Structure 1
């Protein structure tokens, strides 16, 4: 036999049918192979098992009772706590909070059975002692066929049997059944599963459901989320604003603050993966109110314009009935901008924007409904939507700094590696979103589980994205490039209003944004033609330093949307076309269409950029010793901080 089914002497699984025996073995393998055999003990712990089919939840529940609770023959028999979350729509609204309360006082193992890993709420994953995939059943099924059928099954038969619900195996794995009999019966049962168990609701089913007056709630609609802003590190100003709103909403609920004094609308914007959706859930959690989650994409999927507007209004109506609450709208940029030249689509866009504005501040009102929207492109939002009283608060959620990354890693480590300094790791990974950091910890834990040991610091380092190791020539060019930005930036700080604060480079590039020079912008700076041209010189300074010091130009200044040459081109074009700082006095709005007679705009922009590049190269030539010293420091330490490094070669030659 390829594998023995080791049944414990005191196990009820040894006296029951195949389904129970296989379920017993699956759970035992899940806990031992997953690196958490403690789940088999009667000590307090919370274990989540995902990959459980809804049809198998009941039999696995019984197996858990056997494994952990003990049998009637046991001198010490207790009731194991198993929670079936394979059908989330059947759960009570507070099912997560109920589990957390139960786990906080439990004196024995609590097991949660989930269908998918994505169904495990963040807060449950954070406090769980283990989150394990259900062990593969093929080996166990093969061993049972071998034991009861007295023959070695082939791969095809094992796969067909493993696809069935566990309870169906009682009908197939019977003494004396041949391979052909098992194959035939399993095939018939498989067709039964497909036609019944996995059948999608038909239109007739929907009609019968509506006729019966039943409704099928969606999980995202009215759930009190356990995540809280207080427990979310690395959110910066967004966290402070959210906690302030939570305090005001509490005052509104107890009647001490009128709704007119509550800031009832905000737009979250920032790069993908920074946690905008998670922030909305945590905001609802801190406020202690339901969250209604929607997106413009889901509304647009309803059908034509009338269907979209109907879905939009229905979402606001639903939220008003449950007020106070948070209404979250994802992908807000999909609503469009009425100022965009869309031609035949302009009427459609205008009606969509007007529909949103009506819902935000229409005659019905929305007392008690805090509307929070999210976007990756704040510039694409219609300005009327961002008016105070609608979604007037603009909250930027940025990528976390080093301290924020350390805090996020600590959050996901859940107390593991408490004595390890994570500063170097957080610095090495560079700019990374909370989602990337969470994935890093998950991969590290997976490696530790695979080796059936505790998590080590080395697992985190191994899980770092590999990236690309720069050659010596490429790394040297990156250092010279950033040194040019820093030196020219210091030279022109008093004119441009951009004050450099430091530069950093990395030998291993993971996300393309590791090599950079940081600037502080002087707010309210007097913007003139001279200051604009000085800014252009700072943008072009990296390219200038490459040409002066290395004698050639690399590809570091172009390509991406935020690359030096792209930013410089946009600024020069705006100067020539809109700001009145170019060769002509004629001006067009920044977002307006191009003037028909402005045929030589490209030439004027090119001339302006060429002139500023020439000026930047003159500064680099004059201060070449400084540029090379900064570049050498970057090669050695990969960091150069101004105002901190008192031995800086630029400390005596700052901007005039």
Structure 2
């Protein structure tokens, strides 16, 4: 089916089209349909995206968009030079004709300046453009004086007030009676984000998905792709504070659409079941009316899983979930609405919500890594700090969420305000939790533990050894944070038989095995290792058929596996036996390499890290030392 450019049905779009045509008239060859690449600067106060429909009418006056040899791109003040040049090459560079619309304050890279034929300024909408748009689109005739009077009022008020059935003088009178700080009736205030999604840090795959969605929504809006090619549903998971709501706001801003929010708690607050369902439907209807829009459902796991409902509220809860599914299904036929759910507990969501065609995209937002944490701090401080200025704060911010970092920067700015001076790195340090140094006996203990993981993992060739580290300090607020780790790169695709899982258990238990060899007993720092090993041993018995029975169990969550162990004594005994056997195997491996264990431990205590190359050197030195000892004994 032919894809035609979007009609100029809105008076605002037509007025912007008039101002764009006027600017292009300064380059007649292009204005008359000739080849060329033109950069147009939007006037101050106008976003580049506002000119999208106008630009497509210039580029594709009557032909099929998919067949036309024309390109179009936006350039705002947040885009980096490399991204601008890459996008120009893919969107415009190979085309015969193209238009770039830039924000008034956007920096134009030298590469773009030499690539385009000319740079032109678009004038703000004036009385002439307004009169033409009103006459053509709204069938309203007005004098130049009336048009000038209308343009004195906020444009967002003016465009919604101008309607075919209204007289111009009545519109002017209505605008005069409306306070300027009052949002126009029927137009909710657009979502605001502290930064564009493109400039935000710590969102990984979610950010990639969001930027692609922004491009897809734009291409759908101008008729390049059908709605079926746009991702219509996403569930964001992750611990509290990682910024799921902030992401939704930034995404709406990036896409240039309205953000509409809702949650089960918000809908239930209105009353009984009928009121809850009515409130839910009203939110979805609001999103449909505002399309294109993003509908954000917070804590979507609170709807629950119908298969786990208790009998006393099963009917009520089932009806609520069914109503949600009905509304999400309806979105497929309501073009322009993307539904995003957020959750801290993905396992509590009804599988039907995640079914293909509904919210079928699942992305986890993890805690930001060290470089992302520093970038987030720099973005919040807004005081010219670079990543290198804040490098010393990587350890102090370990395990902190985006919300934690925002709180710390607020406190730093408060300290600076009270001192009546600019904020400093020291202000940020004071605002972060105190640090506890890892030294002495504790450093030795952690080094022994991580050496055990390193050597057993390497001996069993359970993945590719990538390195081992121990930290110099941990936050006093988060003393449960890991003091170190041994890293192994595991293949995504492998044959996982019983021996594979037994090796995995042995590696997990090798930390406490090393402690027992060196200290005579292990401490509580290996609890998470023991929990993971117990989980795998239970799955071998209950789900994978690799134990005492081939019986398969659907249990997969930790709570379900714990119940299996509690109520099946024989299974619990087999799990215990597997754990004990692999614990002893790990101790045997480490006892055989006791000299190497001590050398690796000393390396970690002194250097704080161990590379694969350094491990190979220590292994070679240990082998040479063992050979020399054997020669002396034989002599």
The 5 Å alignment of 1:67-216 reads none
1:617 aligns with 2:596: no
What's the offset of the Cα at 1:246?
A: 0.4
1:588 corresponds to which of 553, 563, 571: 553
The 5 Å alignment of 1:393-472 reads 393-418=361-386, 421-470=389-438, 472=440
2:474 corresponds to which of 508, 527, 551: 508
What's the offset of the Cα at 1:397?
A: 1.0
Deviations 1:392-432 (A, max 9, x none): 11112111212212211211121333495322212443232
2:288 corresponds to which of 317, 320, 327: 320
Deviations 1:7-58 (A, max 9, x none): xxxxxxxxxxxxxxxxxxxxxxxxxxxxxxxxxxxxxxxxxxxxxxxxxxxx
What's the offset of the Cα at 1:229?
A: 0.2
The 5 Å alignment of 1:570-589 reads 570-589=535-554
Q: 1:614 to 1:233 in 2, by over 3 A?
A: same
Corresponding residue of 2:499: 530
Q: Is the 8 A contact 2:474 2:483 kept in 1?
A: no
Looking at structure 2, the residues matched to 564 and 219 of structure 1 have their Cα atoms a distance apart, in angstroms, of 56
SS at match of 1:487: helix
Q: Is the 8 A contact 2:259 2:294 kept in 1?
A: yes
The 5 Å alignment of 1:264-283 reads 264-283=232-251
**Unpaired stretches in structure 1, ≥5 consecutive residues:** 1-100, 105-214
2:444 corresponds to which of 458, 463, 476: 476
1:294 corresponds to which of 248, 253, 262: 262
Looking at structure 1, the residues matched to 185 and 564 of structure 2 have their Cα atoms a distance apart, in angstroms, of 47
1:569 aligns with 2:534: yes
Q: Is the 8 A contact 1:470 1:509 kept in 2?
A: no
What's the offset of the Cα at 1:506?
A: 3.6
State which drifts further: 379-388 or 626-635: 626-635
2:219 corresponds to which of 251, 257, 260: 251
1:380 aligns with 2:348: yes
Deviations 1:527-561 (A, max 9, x none): 11111111111211111111112222101022xxx
Q: Is the 8 A contact 2:595 2:622 kept in 1?
A: no
1:649 corresponds to which of 599, 618, 627: 618
Q: 1:648 to 1:502 in 2, by over 3 A?
A: farther
SS at match of 1:273: coil
1:627 aligns with 2:597: yes
Corresponding residue of 1:234: 202
Corresponding residue of 2:324: 356
TM-score (norm 1): 0.61
Looking at structure 2, the residues matched to 345 and 361 of structure 1 have their Cα atoms a distance apart, in angstroms, of 24
Q: Is the 8 A contact 1:269 1:378 kept in 2?
A: yes
1:225 corresponds to which of 171, 192, 217: 192
Q: 1:388 to 1:493 in 2, by over 3 A?
A: farther
What's the offset of the Cα at 1:635?
A: 2.1
Looking at structure 1, the residues matched to 392 and 545 of structure 2 have their Cα atoms a distance apart, in angstroms, of 48
Looking at structure 2, the residues matched to 372 and 651 of structure 1 have their Cα atoms a distance apart, in angstroms, of 54
Deviations 1:318-365 (A, max 9, x none): 111111000001111111112326344443343332222111113883
Looking at structure 1, the residues matched to 287 and 318 of structure 2 have their Cα atoms a distance apart, in angstroms, of 24
1:607 aligns with 2:577: yes
What's the offset of the Cα at 1:217?
A: 11
Looking at structure 2, the residues matched to 653 and 521 of structure 1 have their Cα atoms a distance apart, in angstroms, of 27
Q: 1:302 to 1:557 in 2, by over 3 A?
A: farther
**Unpaired stretches in structure 2, ≥5 consecutive residues:** 1-102, 107-181, 624-635
Q: Is the 8 A contact 1:299 1:308 kept in 2?
A: yes
What's the offset of the Cα at 1:222?
A: 5.2
Looking at structure 2, the residues matched to 216 and 458 of structure 1 have their Cα atoms a distance apart, in angstroms, of 42
Report how many aligned residue pairs link the two structures. 437
SS at match of 1:384: helix
What's the offset of the Cα at 1:434?
A: 1.4
Q: Is the 8 A contact 2:416 2:423 kept in 1?
A: yes
TM-score (norm 2): 0.63
SS at match of 1:453: coil
SS at match of 1:586: coil
State which drifts further: 297-306 or 353-362: 297-306
SS at match of 2:524: coil
Q: 1:319 to 1:307 in 2, by over 3 A?
A: same
SS at match of 1:503: strand
SS at match of 2:394: helix
Looking at structure 1, the residues matched to 612 and 274 of structure 2 have their Cα atoms a distance apart, in angstroms, of 58
Q: Is the 8 A contact 2:396 2:435 kept in 1?
A: no
What's the offset of the Cα at 1:470?
A: 5.0
Deviations 1:496-537 (A, max 9, x none): x57554333343344222424234331122111111111111
Corresponding residue of 2:253: 285
Q: Is the 8 A contact 1:325 1:368 kept in 2?
A: yes
Corresponding residue of 2:170: none
